[in-house]
Amino acid sequence: MEEIKKYFIKTYGCQMNVHESEKLAGMLVSLGYTECSNEKDADVIVFNTCCIRDGAEQKVFGNVGALKKLKKSKPNLIVAICGCMTQQKDRVEIFKEKFKFVNIIFGTHNLNQFKNYLIEYNKTHKNLYEVWDNEKEIDENVEMYRTSKLNAWVNIMYGCNNFCSYCIVPYVRGRERSRNMQDIVEEVKGLIKEGYKVITLLGQNVNSYGNDINDKNVTFANLLKEISMLDGDFRLKFMTSHPKDLTDEVIDVIANSPKISKAIHLPVQSGSSKILKSMNRKYTREHYLELVKKIKAKIPDVFLTTDIIVGFPGETDEDFNETISLVKEVNYGGVFGFMYSKRTGTVAETMPDQIPDDIKHKRVNELLNLSKSMIKEQNKLLVGKTLEVLIEEQKDDGTFVGVTDSGKNVVINENVNVATYYNAKVDAIVGNKLIAKIVK
């Protein structure tokens, strides 16, 4: 009997990459490979990389480098690298020169070719490096191997046209391309039928969904409306929203649909209008705060989270203090804080007044500590409240764990069904977990 070949995929970066790894896995499974949990057991190792910050790239270089020994002891091991890093020519050169044991290199635009590359490599055993410079038509014939039985990710668009001055994404992911609305709706229908309970629509900027399609009915608001009207006990999420494109219509659709999650990720990046301008974000502090006010008025139980970059070129103490005051004013449920990282080819790369690392560290720590203490205060207020909880699994000790709409972990010490929504009343908070009882 032929031995079953195994694969191991290491994913870096955002949800988009996590989902694209499901596509890589789908191709591997269709070729007869099975997943393994340890790279030492694998016949194929794929690194799906991220280049959003230097730290992400250094991690990849370190982890790929560490494979050298394994590859020596296992010469038939196939090592493949793809993702955002390989869309940059100079990074591909580094992989080719420093890590000669890497066998297959491809990019984000030709991700769907991986299956062909693997077949080819298995025939010829010749290293194969192919990265497409430009995006092509969206390929709808993708095999997927989903990693969760409850959460499904669905791409609605690819690429980004915004060119925030710090960001590498528009360079490595190309221009915005929206999927056909009917294709998306059909995919979601299939997922609901299969029993998925949380559907997350993915795009770099979901609010500009449909802008590249010549049909005024193809909008993000209409897409949300159509999906939220489907039958089934599911919740609909989406990420990421650019504040400049979040329309009143979208806010109304979210407010009016019980199936649409009230957790909205709305990256502000900075609380200083001066910095926002030089980031090319196309809104001011005042606009953003107005938008938040409007959202809170229409969706009183909204749970807002955000991304913030500290230490952007030219950011003074006053600018950073404006960020801190905005975070307090919005009272976010969660803040993802990042230290600015210079990216080759972006407008901000050559800006004057780059900020020293020690100041970036100090600022990001202050921001994250503030966020932590805000979450603690908010959690205290949840005691006594009834929340909707999706039960995810039963632990060895017999208790069940679930998750709220806003992503908080909940412990339930009663008999409940997995993959089912319940209303539960919060009794206590332990660490960052909510202890709750089912409301009958």
- Residue numbers of the site for ligand SF4 (CB under 6 A)? 160, 162-164, 167, 169-170, 204-205, 242
Nearer to ligand 5AD, 241 or 406 (CB): 241
> Which of ligand 5AD, ligand SF4, none is residue 205 near (CB under 5 to 8 Å by kind)?
ligand SF4
Residues 57 to 86: which contact ligand 5AD by CB under 6 A?
none
Contact assessment for residue 418 and residue 400, using Cβ atoms and an 8 Å cutoff: yes
Using the rule CB under 6 A, give the single segment among 38-46, 143-151, 244-252, 340-348 that binds ligand 5AD. Answer: 340-348
Q: Identify the CA nearest to 116 among candidates 231, 235, 30, 21.
A: 30
Q: Using the rule CB under 6 A, is 264 a contact of ligand 5AD?
A: no
> Which of ligand 5AD, ligand SF4, none is residue 170 near (CB under 5 to 8 Å by kind)?
ligand SF4
Backbone torsions φ then ψ of 363, nearest 5 degrees: -70, -45
> Which of ligand SF4, ligand 5AD, none is residue 340 near (CB under 5 to 8 Å by kind)?
ligand 5AD
> Which of ligand SF4, ligand 5AD, none is residue 261 near (CB under 5 to 8 Å by kind)?
none
> Which of ligand SF4, ligand 5AD, none is residue 160 near (CB under 5 to 8 Å by kind)?
ligand SF4
Pick from 25, 218, 268, 309 the residue near ligand 5AD by CB under 6 A: 309
Nearer to ligand SF4, 145 or 238 (CB): 238
Report in angstroms the alpha-carbon separations of 364 from 52, 312, 349: 17, 12, 20
Spatial strand order of the sheet with 128-130 comes to 34-35, 6-11, 44-49, 78-83, 104-106, 128-130
Q: How far is the CB of 310 from ligand 5AD (least distance, A)?
A: 9
Q: What is the DSSP letter of 258?
A: T
Q: Identify the CA nearest to 169 among candidates 73, 51, 65, 80.
A: 51
Q: What is the dihedral of CA 190, 195, 200, 202, to 10 degrees?
A: -40
| Paired tokens of 224 | 């949300």
Q: Identify the CA nearest to 269 among candidates 363, 360, 335.
A: 335
Cα separation, 85 vs 328, whole angstroms: 35
Nearer to ligand 5AD, 336 or 421 (CB): 336
> Which of ligand SF4, ligand 5AD, none is residue 326 near (CB under 5 to 8 Å by kind)?
none
Report in angstroms the alpha-carbon separations of 337 from 280, 322, 368: 19, 15, 7
Q: Using the rule CB under 6 A, is 343 a contact of ligand 5AD?
A: yes
Q: Identify the CA nearest to 233 among candidates 258, 264, 208, 268.
A: 258
Q: How far is the CB of 99 from ligand 5AD (least distance, A)?
A: 24
> Which of ligand 5AD, ligand SF4, none is residue 242 near (CB under 5 to 8 Å by kind)?
ligand SF4
Residues in the chain: 440
Nearer to ligand SF4, 201 or 410 (CB): 201
Backbone torsions φ then ψ of 34, nearest 5 degrees: -120, 155
> Which of ligand 5AD, ligand SF4, none is residue 388 near (CB under 5 to 8 Å by kind)?
none
Pick from 145, 158, 166, 283 the residue near ligand 5AD by CB under 6 A: 166
Name the residue with tokens 């202050």: 366
Nearer to ligand SF4, 79 or 206 (CB): 206
Pick from 155, 207, 269, 278 the residue near ligand 5AD by CB under 6 A: 269
Cα separation, 430 vs 397, whole angstroms: 17
Q: What is the dihedral of CA 47, 53, 55, 61, to 10 degrees?
A: 30
3-class state of residue 111 by DSSP = helix
Beta strands at 128-130 and 151-155: parallel, antiparallel or unpaired: unpaired
Q: Identify the CA nearest to 104 among candidates 71, 74, 80.
A: 80
Residue 187: its H or E element: helix 181-194
Q: How far is the CB of 346 from ligand 5AD (least distance, A)?
A: 7
Pick from 42, 44, 52, 263 the residue near ligand 5AD by CB under 6 A: 52
Using the rule CB under 6 A, give the single segment among 72-80, 106-114, 336-344, 410-418 that binds ligand 5AD. Answer: 336-344
Q: Using the rule CB under 6 A, is 307 a contact of ligand 5AD?
A: yes
Q: Which residues in this chain contact ligand 5AD in the complex, by CB under 6 A?
A: 52-53, 166-167, 267, 269, 307, 309, 338, 340-341, 343
